[in-house]
């Protein structure tokens, strides 16, 4: 399973970026996928969880500015970021939980076990 983020870059405060995450060897599903971010000296922060294309959660720090989505084929995640702030500067990662079949039912991993390499987002004045 491989996840690959794209779309990062440098932008001025107030600007916008849209990140994408493409998966191979797996399909994003209702077990959950996520966007995390980490900046130097800070702990990794959960930005969004995507369960289905229409069911997502967002961290309070990004509500009203970010939106997360997933395509219906389960091949891509998106994180659309608007009105970016200096504090949004970080490496952004996509991640996914594992789904397996156990006794005829789907079983989801407790943790996000598949991770991308990350894409840098830098917001400047």
Tens-of-pLDDT digits for all 125 residues of the chain? 999 999 999 999 999 999 999 999 999 999 999 999 999 999 999 999 999 988 999 999 999 999 999 999 999 999 999 999 999 999 999 999 999 998 999 999 999 999 999 999 999 99
CB-CB contact of 78 with 20 (8 Å) = yes
User: Is residue 61 helix, strand or coil?
Assistant: coil
Residue 13, beta-bridge partner list:
none
Output the six-digit token pair for 113. 């076990």
Question: What does DSSP say about strands 17-24 and 33-38: parallel, antiparallel, or unpaired?
Answer: unpaired
Output the six-digit token pair for 54. 């229409």
């Amino acid at each position: 399973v491989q996840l690959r983020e794209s779309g990062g870059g440098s932008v001025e405060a107030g600007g916008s970026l849209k990140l994408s995450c493409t998966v191979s060897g797996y399909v994003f599903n209702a077990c959950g996928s996520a966007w995390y971010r980490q900046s130097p000296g800070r702990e990794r922060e959960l930005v969004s969880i995507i369960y289905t294309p229409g069911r997502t959660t967002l961290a309070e720090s990004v509500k009203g500015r970010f939106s997360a989505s997933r395509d219906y084929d389960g091949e891509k995640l998106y994180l659309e970021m608007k009105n970016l702030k200096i504090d949004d500067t970080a490496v952004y990662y996509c991640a996914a939980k594992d789904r397996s079949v156990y006794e005829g039912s789907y079983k989801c991993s407790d943790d996000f076990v598949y991770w991308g390499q990350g894409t840098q987002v830098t917001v400047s004045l």
